Amino acid sequence: MTYTIIDIETTGRNKITEISIFKYEGNQVIDEFTSLVNPETLIPSYITALTGIDNGMVANAPRFHEVAESILEITKDCIFVAHNVNFDYNIIRNEFKDIGVNFSRRKLCTIRLSRKLFPGFKSYSLGKLCKSLNIEVVDRHRARGDAEATVILFEMLLARTDAAQVFGDFLKKNSKEATLPAHLSSNIFEALPNSAGIYYFKNKKGKIIYVGKAKDIKKRVLSHFYNKTDKELNLCRETSDIDFELSGSEFIALLMEDAAIKKHYPEYNQVAKRAPRAYGIFSYTDRKGCIHLAYNNLKATPNPLFTLFNITDCRSYLEKVCMQFELCPKYCHLQEGVDACSHYKIKTCHGVCTDEETVDDYNNRVNLAIEHIKNSSQDMIIKEKGRHWEEEAFVMVKNGSYLGYGFIDRTEQISRSEDLERFLIPQNDNVNVQMILRRALLG
């Protein structure tokens, strides 16, 4: 079996500045390719401080497309090996993608192999691992120096008694070892449930760096590892642990996720800097005395009957009210600029728009609808699935404010909403939570 052991240096923004490749077969290096690469962009000073590679050094170096053929040739029919392989592999693959070339190789990660074959070390970063194994690293943070050290580490891994079994397992097509972040134990991933809830990505210091929600935690977490955007690659590079909380349903997971993001402010979550635009459902009376239902920007609606957070939801909500109380689509502003309603879906109008029904009769139903709208979100207990079959979950809203959620054993005797309060997990209300609740009401 032939391997290419690879290390790259970059601008810090996924453009290569140096690449070194050692081709390894049998028990020796049989070829080498090392080159500086002109990234065609400026190298930040902090990268120069780390690697020693500055803009002057790469000014006359070949650009990636000029070394691409050499990289393709030396890695052809070889297994791509690197320390934190997904980082190097994805950057090289993206460089090839930019010049219209598909780059695909089988992969092995020396971090993951080391975790399996050299268990028990505190750190598996290249520098600290080499120190623990007495591997001398010459020119640390230069591609050739780090690649040479990785070659020695790779030889030590190959020499382990159970290396053949471990290497074989890692190279199986259905193995997730090449997909998982380098610092994440496969045992942690395998322990994730195929259930609804929220999950926490943590770095090596145990700090939460990302919070997500899912109907299927394990499936959703795995999708992060297949995503090749810069954000996801950087997130996976830092992830060394994953924790989770079950919710029972995606709806409660949404509420849990919002609370967790606001509590931890993880660096990889895009926390909204501005409150979402709100719209108000309101009523007014025209010259004929007919009551209309309509929606507008909340700033233009001083006393809204109901608040929603996008126009599509406003229309959907009014359509439901219109059908439930047999109102006129024209006077619910679901059709504009028409003499009489002719809505594609709502056929319940009694004819107020064509003078077949009196305004008083119509207004009586509108007033019932208004009362319904006012009361519909004041006090609510929303029932949801529990985290297991012996449990139920609920969300509690009082006087229009979100109080929290809770879980309750199915054997509990509950006769009124107050009985649920001792099972309540209190939460803070906010605009994002109100958006989630409104969406739940719309169904």
pLDDT per position as a tens digit, 88-135: 999 999 999 999 999 999 999 999 999 999 999 988 999 999 999 999
Beta bridge partners of residue 23, listed in sequence order: 4, 31
Residue 274: per-residue pLDDT: 59
Regarding whether 230 and 97 lie in a shared domain, the answer is: no
Amino acid at 156: M
* pLDDT reported for residue 54: 96
Q: Which helix (H) or strand (E) holds 171?
A: helix 163-171
The number of CA neighbours under 13 Å toward the Cβ of 409 is: 3
What are the residues whose beta carbons fall under 8 Å from the beta carbon of 168, sequence distance 6 or more? none
180 in any annotated domain = no
Identify whether 404 is part of a domain: yes
Residue 377 has pLDDT above 80, yes or no: no
Q: Looking at residue 417, what is its pLDDT? A: 78
Please report, for the domain that includes residue 259, its CATH number. Answer: 3.40.1440.10
Nearest residue to 150 via CA among 191, 193, 108: 108
Which phi and psi (to 5°) does residue 210 adopt?
-160, 140
pLDDT-wise least confident of 59-68, 147-156, 246-255, 295-304: 295-304
Write out the residue range of the structural domain in which residue 259 sits.
186-264
Q: Are residues 144 and 55 in the same domain?
A: yes
Cα–Cα dist 246/193, whole Å: 9
Mean pLDDT of all residues in 339-349: 91
Least confident range from 11-25, 43-57, 424-438: namely 424-438
pLDDT confidence of residue 378 = 75
The answer to whether 177 and 117 have CB atoms below 8 angstroms apart is: no
Q: Which of 232, 264, 296 is a domain's end point?
A: 264
The answer to whether residue 392 sits within a structural domain is yes
* Entry pTM: 0.73
- Taking residues 53-69, report their average pLDDT: 97
User: What's the N-to-C CA distance of the chain in angstroms?
Assistant: 57
Task: Provide the residue type at 116 as one letter.
Answer: K
Contact indicator for 245, 210 with CB cutoff of 8 Å: no
Residues 229 and 137 in one domain: no
Same domain, 145 and 34: yes
Residue 250's pLDDT is what? 95
pLDDT value at 272 more than 60: no
Name the domain boundary from 264, 292, 323: 264
Domain assignment present for residue 394? The answer is: yes
Which value, in Å, is the radius of gyration of the alpha carbons in the chain? 30
- 199: confidence class by pLDDT, cuts 50, 70, 90: very high
**Residues 104 and 140 occupy one common structural domain:** yes
The C-alpha atoms of residue 408 and residue 406 are separated, in whole angstroms, by 7
N residues, the chain: 443
pLDDT at 173 over 90: no
Whether 68 and 166 map to the same domain: the answer is: yes
Looking at mean pLDDT, say which of 50-59, 180-189, 376-385 comes out highest: 50-59
Q: Report DSSP state, residue 62.
A: P
Instruction: In whole angstroms, give the CA distance from residue 168 to residue 170.
Output: 5
Compute the mean pLDDT over every residue in the chain, rounded to the nearest whole number: 92
Instruction: Specify the amino acid at residue 325.
Output: F
Mark whether 81 and 96 lie in a shared domain: yes
pLDDT at 273: 52
**Residue 176 located in a structural domain:** no
Predicted pLDDT at 431:
84
DSSP output for 261-295: HHHH--TTS---SSPPP-EEEEEEE-TTS-EEEEE
Q: Give CA–CA dist 253/157, Å, rounded.
A: 42
CA 248 to chain centre: 19
Angle, alpha carbons 89-207-429 (nearest 5°): 115
Residue type, 416: R
What backbone torsions phi and psi does residue 112 show, to the nearest 5 degrees?
Answer: -70, -40
**Taking 60 as the threshold, does the pLDDT of residue 428 lie above it?**
yes
Residue 275: predicted pLDDT: 65
Paired with 80 in beta bridges are 4, 107
Residue 110 and residue 11 share a domain: yes
Whether residue 330 is predicted with pLDDT greater than 80 in this model: the reply is: yes
Q: What is the DSSP secondary structure assignment for residue 345, as one 8-state letter?
A: S
Same domain, 386 and 367: no
User: In this model, does residue 442 exceed pLDDT 80?
Assistant: no
* Residue 370 shares a structural domain with residue 386: no
Among 15-24, 159-168, 171-180, 227-236, which range has the highest average pLDDT? Answer: 15-24
Same structural domain for residues 365 and 387?
no
- Do residues 393 and 284 share a domain? no
- Judge whether 395 lies within some domain: yes
Task: For tokens 């999950």, name the residue.
Answer: 199
Which residue has better confidence, 406 or 415? 406
Residue 5's CB is within 10 A of a number of other CB atoms, namely: 29
Residue 395, pLDDT score: 95
Q: How far apart are CA 289 and CA 275, in angstroms?
A: 37
pLDDT value at 192 more than 90: yes
Question: What is the per-residue pLDDT for 40?
Answer: 95
Alpha helices (H) along 282-402: 311-324, 359-376
- 181: in domain: no
Q: Is residue 121 part of a domain?
A: yes
- How many domains does the chain contain in total? 4
Average pLDDT rounded to a whole number, residues 400-412: 91
Give the pair of three-digit tokens for residue 270: 């895009």
Q: Domain end: 197, 230, 264, which one?
A: 264
pLDDT band at 443 (very low <50, low <70, confident <90, very high): low
Q: Taking Cα atoms as reference points, which of 348, 354, 353, 383 lies closest to residue 369?
A: 348
Element (H, E) at 24: strand 16-25
